[in-house]
Amino acid sequence: MKAMCGADDQASWRVVDSLGLDTGQLEMQCPVLIVHGNKDVKVENDDMLRLVDRIESPAKKFLMFEDGHHCIHNHQAQLHALVADWFAETLCR
């Protein structure tokens, strides 16, 4: 959390909790790519699926790696290729 929010874990979670990611629709005007590992021990699959369902975007894509760990470090080459392809197809038109 410190790398993402720039604060210790307790302060970082206060920031995350303040975002209100657990209520209402999240309307985005930009394309959204969400990648999740089914074997992630930090983010539960149900939580991720609820988040994906709540996002409204003109171009939303959700990829789940069935045996992917947190950050999908066990499929880095495949992940990087998929993300690069998504950027090329979605953002470079």
pLDDT of residue 75: 94
pTM: 0.73
Average pLDDT, the chain: 84
What three-state secondary structure class fits 56?
Answer: strand
> How far is 75 from 64, CA to CA, in rounded Å?
11
- Ramachandran bin of 77, using left for φ above 0, alpha for ψ from -120 to 50, beta for the remaining angles: alpha
pLDDT tens digit sequence for 18-28: 666 666 788 88
pLDDT band at 83 (very low <50, low <70, confident <90, very high): very high
How far the first Cα of the chain sits from its last, in Å, is: 34
What three-state secondary structure class fits 67?
Answer: coil
